[in-house]
Structure 1
Amino acid sequence: MPDIIQLLPEYLANQIAAGEVVQRPASVVKELLENAVDAGATSIQLIVKEAGKQLVQVVDNGLGMSPTDARMSLERHATSKIRSTEDLFRIRTLGFRGEALASIAAVAQVEIRTKQRGQETGSLLLVEGSQVTSQVPTACPDGTSIAVKNLFFNVPARRNFLKSNAVEMRHILDEFQHVALANPQIAFSLYQNDLEVFGLPAGKLSQRIVALLGNNYKEQLAGCEEVTAFLTVKGYIGKPESAKKSRGDQFFFVNNRFIRSAYLNHAVLAAYEGLLPRDTHPFYVLFLELDPKTIDINVHPTKTEIKFEDEKTVYAVVRAAVRQALGLHSLTPSLDFEGDVNFAPIRPLRTSAGTGASTELPTPLRHVEFNPDALAASVSAAAARQANRGSGGSERQAPARPTEQARRDLEAFYRELGQPVRPAGEELAPTPPVVATPVLPELPFVHAAPPEPVGRPAPLPTGTAAGLLPTPTVGHSSPRATQVLARYVLLPVKSGLMLIDQEAARERILYEQYVAGQTQGAGHSQALLFPRPITFSPADYAVLQELTQPLHLLGFRFAEFGPLTIAVEAVPADLPAQGEKELFEGLIEQFRSGASSLRLDRREALARALARRVAQATSLARLPEVELNALVDKLFACQVPNYTPDGRPTVVLLDGEQLAAFFRKAGA
């Protein structure tokens, strides 16, 4: 039997290695930028064309290479940074991968110009598919310029797997951000298709953050520093009010290398506990410095995931550092010992966005009966006491009788609150004792098969033959729909009682409306009185460029309005009044999470994101009976009324037997 094991040809081995190192143009950007930083450059320029598919070029003013080093840099396992096994455990440099340039040269056309300081001439190398076609002396400035052209020109299958220019450019911006944030002492610039996107001078970290991520952070940065014998944490965090719907602006660096760590992110969120609005994410740029021997950076090929020798200690120090920074900058809630904690001012009622309906009253005001004379007298007495304090008078003077106008005003105020108003002079009834409400067992969900995890759930048949939901017809002759806790809709049906989650139902209705609008080619829009400019971070702006067409189909209208800025001219019809910036950030974040977890079509993911966002914005709102009935009608007119787009139930059905069981258990 002949031998069948043989060595691979060098060009094929390089292409296999390139599959690990070079996944997309952003991989080339990362390797070249890190090599430039390691070369001691003080100025680095990144030039890309066609999102890196046509050209990725990095120009630096670092040490440069001799002709021999330039040629050796293209060999596999060639490096200037590792000499022994011990060096693997003391790595503090970035671009130490020995096969990086060799792998890039295996799948692209590469041009290298380099000159060492003090030398009269430099070297020019032309490489194509791992083959050095030319190496000649040339005149060039100090440093190195590496141009990678026509990526994957000799591997068409790999090139076909590249995403759109907007997607690839977003990944390039991410890598550029990581290196630029980690090295504020170096000047960086980025050119895309001959247009300057960033021009970042050397400076402090805070200046780099503002220049890179936007002026919105200028007043939101809080310094963070904690020094221990084991670990040093330095950087900046954002104030809680600056938290965003998208989680893009969160950066960890360990020994100046960008990493991703859900474990450390949890430590930061633990420090912010109780301070952040719902579904928002804080900003942070944190640098961790510790002994390289206590970490393993070879867990992931791109070195973005690492292992700590003592994870619990790292977690505790990071959390303590962030918590201390929040306290030092007076960002955590504190007690006001100067104010009277027993008397809080009565705040006016808030109304839900877009409906004008009053929200649920605070608990202390919910069951208060109003006696106009008593309350007005109390107010007058308080005013008299305050006046006497100021003039040195006695506090024991009888309070003035309230005027008739004051009595009428207070009576009207309590009528707006929906509280009972008793005639003047009537005595207050004693407060009845509080009766504890028994805890009911958990309500069962409808016995229906859950939808598929990906895509749109299949429609469910109506009727009760298979234990499924009956389809109610809500109208003038139908049972009344009642709202409970400003969140649920209670509806009597023939077989029992139906409970509808108001937010989930609205999400299903909106989703199907948006899908129908996209199918028809354009959504209904409502024009804004004045265009509203919104500035995004580079990463969010790159995502927005991907979503321009689907957003247009949903009813959004906007135009470019400068670097990383758009002017919003119209939004989808019936969208509740709210900040457009928060809306776009929420859509971008939900699009990221939805598209990555379920691998949905872009339009599908965006329709889901917008439906969820709008439904959340209009939740916990009191609705009149007409609107409740209309909500039920619209829900059961949907193709799949039983579930939200991501599979959460919208309806719970309790039959007579289940209702009776609650009372049997309660009385047992």
Structure 2
Amino acid sequence: MSDVIKLLPDSVANQIAAGEVIQRPAAVIKELVENAVDAGASIIKIYIKDAGRTLIQVVDNGCGMSPTDARMAFERHSTSKITEATDLFALHTMGFRGEALASISAVSQVELRTMRKDDMMGTCIVIEGSRVLSQEPESCVHGCNFMVKNLFYNVPARRKFLKSDQVEMNHILREFERMALVNPHIEFELTNNGTIIHKLLGSSFKQRIIDLFGKAMDRQLVPIETDTSLVRIQGFVSRPENARKRGALQYLTVNGRNMRHPYFHKAVLHCYEQLIPADEQPSYFLNFTVDPESIDVNIHPTKNEIKFEDEQPIWKILVAAVKEGLSKFNVMPSIEFDMDNAPDIPAFNPDAHASHGLDLDTSYNPFDTAPSGKKESSVSRSVHTDWEKLYEDFARNRDESYAGISESAIDAFPSEELPEDMPDPDFSGDFDNSLPGSMQLKGRYILAPSKNGLMVVDQHRAHVRILYDRYLDLARLDALATQRIIFPEVVELSPSQSSVMESISDELVSLGFDVAFLGGTSWSVNGLPSVLDSVNPHEILLSMVDCVTETGEELGESLRNRIALSMARAAAIKPGAQLTDAEMEHLLSDLFKLSAPGYTPDGKTVMSIIAFDDIVRLFA
């Protein structure tokens, strides 16, 4: 029998590695930009075509490479960052594994033009599917110019499962924002299909945040800074009033490297307990500086998962720093007194040896209305007698009330008419208008009698279900009319949000919105669907953009459903709103006209029934 174990060719091994390192165009940009940062570049320009499918070009002014280095850079496990295993615990560079360029060249067509600053001639190398097609000397500027064309051209399955251009572009923008934040001193430029999306000059960390996410961030940020023997933490957190239900901007970096760390994320959230609602989250931009030997970045090929040697002490330091920052800048609510024209109240400082000239009568009873000098207890006796009489009247009235209760009221829920089985999940036919009316509990739930017991309905979720179905029905009939706004509202978006807004603008028009692009990242809301009442145009627009960004929905029916759900959430009755009896009855009536009233469009329970037998057992 012949041997069956064989050594894989380099091209196959590189494609396998590419499956871990290069998942989508955004990963290519991340690897190439990190190499440019390690090369000491001060200017990095990124050019994108068709969301990276056709072209990804990264140009930098770094140190460049010699012809030999340019050829060796595409070999697996070739790197200039480390020379031995112990160097992994003293890393000061972004890359070190030596897999990125080999993986990229295995699934695309790559052209590299590079030249060192002191050289008179550069080199141009062309690689396709890990095969070097040519390498020739060429005159070029110093630095590197990577052109990655036709990504996944030789892996049809991977190319087929790429999302739409808009979704892939959203991933690119997210990755670009992370890299730009961690390197605020570097000038970045991002161009998509000939349109400049970002042009960022080197600046401070705070200014970089404002350039990326809008001028409004300037008023929302609270600085955080602490320096200990274990860690130095610098950055910003948002004020509690600027917390978001979705789309919160949350970035953690360590030693100039982006990281995902759920443990430290929970530490920041812990500081906002009792300050923000449970369904909202704060934004934060925090940089950690630690000894490289105390962390391990060699956990995952993407190098975003990092382990800390001193996680628990750093957790406590982080909590203390954030709480101190929030309190120092008066973020916590405080009581302010009006001191103008306030009377001067003297302070009382008792002294055991001072008599203060007071002659107190210890036998004085302020409740005794008898004439002075008569210390009889007739008043107390009369008060005691009055209390007894009051209790007698209360007991008599209580007995009369019980005697006057109608037997029909007690028999309003006859147990013999109840079915033995629980009701169907959709609760159809449970609501009984013939039974006594509904009532509201805690401004959040509606309690209504049912043929099977007591029905508890979440008023907000019920209204979301009603509005969602109504919007979609009107949209299918093209019956969503637009109501013009007297004073159009201008909404300032970040570049990434503006890109999402541009992609969903046609769907918004079909749902009754009238939005117009004003240039840059500004949009004007000129009209809203007539079915939306008392809705803030700015809030509902941002909620829809954030919803699409988070879910990554593509154009079509699914995107329309997402937008309709976001509209319904924004316009629905809020938890805590007080409803009249007529409003509750109308809400329940509309709910039970639907085909599936039991659940919201995203699968949350709208109502639940407490069976009559369960109620009986409570009093058994």
Please give the TM-score of this superposition, normalised by the length of structure 2.
0.81
Aligned residues of 1:167 and 1:542 also touching (Cα < 8 A): no
CA distance in 1, matches of 2:47, 2:616: 72
CA distance in 2, matches of 1:245, 1:192: 30
Name 2:331's counterpart in structure 1: 331
The aligned runs of 1:222-621 (5 Å cut-off) are 222-277=222-277, 279-336=279-336, 464=419, 466-468=421-423, 469=427, 471=429, 479-520=436-477, 523-591=480-548, 601-615=558-572, 618-621=574-577
Aligned residues of 1:642 and 1:650 also touching (Cα < 8 A): yes
CA distance in 1, matches of 2:438, 2:32: 64
Name 2:592's counterpart in structure 1: 636
Aligned residues of 1:517 and 1:553 also touching (Cα < 8 A): no
SS in 2 for 1:645: coil
Name 2:5's counterpart in structure 1: 5
Of 545-554 and 153-162, the range deviating more from structure 2: 545-554
Aligned residues of 2:457 and 2:606 also touching (Cα < 8 A): yes
Name 2:609's counterpart in structure 1: 653
2:590 is aligned with 1:622: no
Name 1:191's counterpart in structure 2: 191
Name 2:107's counterpart in structure 1: 107
Query: Offset at 1:87?
Result: 0.6
SS in 2 for 1:304: coil
Name 1:396's counterpart in structure 2: none
* Structure 2 CA distance for partners of 1:465 and 1:648, relative to 1, 3 Å: farther
Aligned residues of 2:247 and 2:550 also touching (Cα < 8 A): no
* Structure 2 CA distance for partners of 1:516 and 1:140, relative to 1, 3 Å: same
Aligned residues of 1:464 and 1:470 also touching (Cα < 8 A): no
1:450-488 C-alpha deviation (Å, 9 max, x unpaired): xxxxxxxxxxxxx9563214626676x774333343333
Aligned residues of 1:498 and 1:651 also touching (Cα < 8 A): yes
SS in 1 for 2:593: coil
* Structure 2 CA distance for partners of 1:106 and 1:470, relative to 1, 3 Å: closer
The one-letter code matched in structure 1 to 2:495 is P
Of 159-168 and 496-505, the range deviating more from structure 2: 496-505
* Structure 2 CA distance for partners of 1:20 and 1:649, relative to 1, 3 Å: closer
Larger Rg: 2
The one-letter code matched in structure 1 to 2:448 is L
Aligned residues of 1:185 and 1:204 also touching (Cα < 8 A): yes
Aligned residues of 2:41 and 2:63 also touching (Cα < 8 A): yes
Name 2:169's counterpart in structure 1: 169
Query: Offset at 1:523?
Result: 3.9
The one-letter code matched in structure 1 to 2:12 is L
The one-letter code matched in structure 1 to 2:233 is V
SS in 1 for 2:196: strand
Aligned residues of 1:245 and 1:585 also touching (Cα < 8 A): no
SS in 2 for 1:188: strand
The one-letter code matched in structure 2 to 1:175 is E
Aligned residues of 1:152 and 1:159 also touching (Cα < 8 A): yes
Of 212-221 and 556-565, the range deviating more from structure 2: 556-565
Query: Offset at 1:555?
Result: 3.2
Name 1:346's counterpart in structure 2: none
Aligned residues of 1:295 and 1:307 also touching (Cα < 8 A): yes
CA distance in 2, matches of 1:535, 1:185: 25
Aligned residues of 1:474 and 1:633 also touching (Cα < 8 A): no
SS in 2 for 1:561: strand
SS in 2 for 1:483: strand
* Structure 2 CA distance for partners of 1:238 and 1:501, relative to 1, 3 Å: closer
**Equivalent residues, number:** 543
* Structure 2 CA distance for partners of 1:528 and 1:245, relative to 1, 3 Å: farther
Query: Offset at 1:191?
Result: 1.1
CA distance in 2, matches of 1:663, 1:71: 83
Percent identity reads 43
Aligned residues of 2:233 and 2:287 also touching (Cα < 8 A): yes
1:160-211 C-alpha deviation (Å, 9 max, x unpaired): 1111111111111111111111111111111111121111111211111111
Aligned residues of 2:224 and 2:235 also touching (Cα < 8 A): yes
SS in 1 for 2:276: coil
SS in 2 for 1:210: helix
1:600-621 C-alpha deviation (Å, 9 max, x unpaired): 9444444444333433x53322
Query: Offset at 1:543?
Result: 4.0
Name 2:408's counterpart in structure 1: none
Name 2:85's counterpart in structure 1: 85
Name 1:380's counterpart in structure 2: none
The one-letter code matched in structure 2 to 1:318 is L
* Structure 2 CA distance for partners of 1:534 and 1:553, relative to 1, 3 Å: same
Query: Offset at 1:656?
Result: 4.4
* Structure 2 CA distance for partners of 1:637 and 1:256, relative to 1, 3 Å: same
The one-letter code matched in structure 2 to 1:486 is G
* Structure 2 CA distance for partners of 1:495 and 1:65, relative to 1, 3 Å: closer
SS in 2 for 1:207: helix
Name 2:401's counterpart in structure 1: none
Aligned residues of 1:225 and 1:233 also touching (Cα < 8 A): yes
1:322-376 C-alpha deviation (Å, 9 max, x unpaired): 1111122121223436679xxxxxxxxxxxxxxxxxxxxxxxxxxxxxxxxxxxx
In structure 1, the gaps of 5 or more residues are 341-385, 391-429, 434-462
CA distance in 1, matches of 2:21, 2:286: 27
Query: Offset at 1:70?
Result: 0.8
* Structure 2 CA distance for partners of 1:339 and 1:611, relative to 1, 3 Å: farther
Aligned residues of 2:177 and 2:212 also touching (Cα < 8 A): yes
Aligned residues of 1:595 and 1:601 also touching (Cα < 8 A): no
CA distance in 2, matches of 1:53, 1:116: 30
Query: Offset at 1:277?
Result: 4.8
Name 2:76's counterpart in structure 1: 76
CA distance in 2, matches of 1:652, 1:131: 64
Of 562-571 and 22-31, the range deviating more from structure 2: 562-571
CA distance in 1, matches of 2:282, 2:322: 11
Query: Offset at 1:519?
Result: 4.0
Aligned residues of 1:474 and 1:632 also touching (Cα < 8 A): no
Aligned residues of 2:198 and 2:495 also touching (Cα < 8 A): no
CA distance in 2, matches of 1:312, 1:339: 45
CA RMSD in angstroms, aligned pairs only: 2.8
Name 1:443's counterpart in structure 2: none
CA distance in 2, matches of 1:280, 1:541: 23
CA distance in 2, matches of 1:325, 1:156: 51
Query: Offset at 1:634?
Result: 0.7
Name 1:61's counterpart in structure 2: 61
* Structure 2 CA distance for partners of 1:96 and 1:520, relative to 1, 3 Å: farther
* Structure 2 CA distance for partners of 1:656 and 1:92, relative to 1, 3 Å: same
Aligned residues of 2:535 and 2:571 also touching (Cα < 8 A): no
Name 1:403's counterpart in structure 2: none
The one-letter code matched in structure 1 to 2:494 is S
* Structure 2 CA distance for partners of 1:129 and 1:330, relative to 1, 3 Å: same
CA distance in 2, matches of 1:48, 1:266: 36
Name 1:130's counterpart in structure 2: 130
CA distance in 1, matches of 2:119, 2:18: 33
CA distance in 2, matches of 1:132, 1:191: 29
In structure 2, the gaps of 5 or more residues are 345-389, 395-417
CA distance in 2, matches of 1:481, 1:254: 56
The one-letter code matched in structure 2 to 1:113 is R
